């Protein structure tokens, strides 16, 4: 049976962010002032409908102006830096709606999906004959496409091992200890699982976009060959019991054959103290041997780390 005790310590990603959930999203819309409220409402409605938590006012006004200036200069890195530094939400949908050039009732909607620590995803749609109903449907289609684009290159790896607490590396880069849950790039990878007292295990795996891969690794103790090394050795406790029993018997012999000074002999053999000492030592050895022989296998405990786009969850796992 395996139980996991989690010490809920969330190490967040982002210097000014709070303990953010991966589904927290903020919405910012700029551009055509008349259509901004309707577009904000529709994007937020779509996000809530699809399981996201909308963060109100994710950026202060000066940060919004900074992002606008960065995007005007086609400097996505500048915009991402401003959002990662100033945003209350882990993810931000930053959208601009403007009248399409040369059109009278067509509006271009350009949307960036910013996710801290990753490159932004950019998509553009045109709201033709842009009535309120058309704007809603265009916004919904744009958000669905954005979501697919943000998930296309990421999968999840869930790795457990026996024993737990093994170090896991992905293509030579350490990603945590087992039991582990981590978002990883989709594709083929080399997973190495290492434990100080066990042989390394190397696996070739393929992580598929948007899917979870479960990897359970049973590790062989170093030098164990095909033997069951989880069973405790009996040689030491048996040796202690046999040796202790012999010492106890010898102590008893010394104690009961000890001579006392009754004045009849010039020399006499006083072995009572030696017998008591040897008997006590022998009894202690027997007791230790019995304890080692009867004790259950040592419980196993180890730290656990879960690394996701929402942060890192650190805890402790214990087998019993």
Q: Please write the tens of the pLDDT for every residue from 249-258.
A: 888 888 888 7
**Are 317 and 201 within one domain?**
no
Domain end (from 225, 259, 286): 225
* 177 domain-assigned: yes
**Are 215 and 247 within one domain?**
no
**Are 216 and 275 within one domain?**
no
SS3 53: strand
**Are 218 and 266 within one domain?**
no
**Are 241 and 202 within one domain?**
no
Output the pLDDT for position 76. Answer: 85
**Are 140 and 36 within one domain?**
yes
* 17 domain-assigned: yes
**Are 25 and 143 within one domain?**
yes
**Are 199 and 237 within one domain?**
no
* 55 domain-assigned: yes
Output the pLDDT for position 60. Answer: 95
Domain end (from 225, 244, 264): 225
Q: Render pLDDT for 45-54 as a digit per residue (tens, 0 to 9).
A: 999 998 889 9
Give the domain range for residue 303: 233-320
Q: Do strands 24-31 and 53-55 pair parallel, antiparallel, or not at all (unpaired)?
A: parallel
Percent of the chain residues past pLDDT 70, beyond the cut: 77
* 1 domain-assigned: no
Q: What is the average pLDDT across 123-142?
A: 92
**Are 272 and 210 within one domain?**
no
pLDDT band at 296 (very low <50, low <70, confident <90, very high): low
* 69 domain-assigned: yes
**Are 96 and 117 within one domain?**
yes
Out of 18-32, 114-128, 143-157, 292-306, least confident range: 292-306
Q: What is the average pLDDT across 186-212?
A: 88
Q: What is the average pLDDT across 105-124?
A: 88
Domain end (from 95, 129, 151): 151
Output the pLDDT for position 248. Answer: 86
**Are 102 and 162 within one domain?**
no
pLDDT band at 157 (very low <50, low <70, confident <90, very high): confident
Q: Are 247 and 281 in contact (CB under 8 A)?
A: yes
Across 97-111, 175-189, 219-233, the highest mean pLDDT is recorded for 97-111
When divided into structural domains, the chain yields a total of 3
Q: Render pLDDT for 215-246 as a digit per residue (tens, 0 to 9).
A: 999 999 986 554 444 445 677 778 888 888 88
* 3 domain-assigned: no
* 5 domain-assigned: no
The token pair that represents 12 in the structure block? 């967040």
Output the pLDDT for position 170. Answer: 87
Q: Render pLDDT for 70-99 as a digit per residue (tens, 0 to 9).
A: 999 988 889 999 999 999 998 999 999 999
How far is Cα 65 from Cα 57, in angstroms, rounded to an integer? 14
Output the pLDDT for position 6. Answer: 35
**Are 169 and 280 within one domain?**
no
* 297 domain-assigned: yes
> Domain containing 133 — which CATH number?
3.40.50
Q: How far apart are the first and last CA of the chain?
A: 6
> Domain containing 165 — which CATH number?
2.60.40.1120
Q: Which long-range contacts (CB under 8 A, 24 or more apart) does 41-50 make?
A: 42/135, 42/136, 42/139, 42/140, 43/93, 43/95, 43/139, 43/143, 46/139, 46/140, 46/143, 46/144, 47/93, 47/143, 50/143, 50/147
């Amino acid at each position: 049976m395996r139980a996991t005790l989690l010490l809920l310590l969330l190490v967040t990603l982002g210097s000014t962010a709070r303990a953010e959930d991966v589904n927290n999203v903020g919405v910012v819309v700029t551009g055509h002032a008349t259509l901004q409220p309707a577009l904000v409402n529709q994007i937020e409605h779509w996000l809530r409908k699809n399981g996201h938590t909308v963060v109100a006012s994710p950026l202060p006004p000066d940060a919004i102006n900074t992002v606008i200036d960065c995007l005007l200069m086609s400097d996505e890195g500048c915009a991402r830096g401003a959002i990662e530094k100033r945003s209350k939400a882990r993810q931000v949908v930053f959208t601009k709606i403007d009248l399409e050039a040369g059109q009278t009732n067509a509006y271009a909607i350009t949307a960036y999906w910013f996710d801290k620590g990753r490159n932004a995803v950019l998509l553009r749609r045109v709201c033709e004959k842009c009535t309120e109903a058309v704007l809603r449907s265009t916004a919904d289609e744009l958000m669905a496409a954005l979501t697919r684009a943000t998930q296309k290159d990421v999968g999840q790896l869930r790795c457990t091992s026996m024993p737990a607490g093994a170090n896991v590396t992905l293509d030579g880069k350490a990603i945590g200890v087992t039991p582990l849950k981590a978002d990883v790039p989709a594709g083929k990878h080399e997973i190495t699982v290492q434990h100080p007292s066990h042989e390394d295990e190397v696996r070739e795996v393929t992580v598929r976009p948007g899917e979870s891969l479960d990897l359970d690794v049973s590790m062989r103790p170093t030098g164990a060959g095909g033997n069951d090394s989880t069973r405790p050795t009996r040689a030491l406790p048996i040796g202690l019991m046999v040796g202790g029993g012999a010492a106890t018997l010898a102590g008893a012999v010394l104690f009961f054959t000890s001579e006392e000074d009754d004045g009849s002999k010039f020399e006499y053999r006083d072995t009572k103290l030696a017998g008591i000492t040897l008997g006590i030592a022998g009894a202690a050895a027997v007791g230790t041997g019995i304890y080692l022989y009867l004790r259950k296998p040592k419980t196993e405990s180890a730290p656990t780390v879960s690394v996701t786009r929402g942060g890192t969850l650190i805890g402790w796992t214990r087998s019993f």
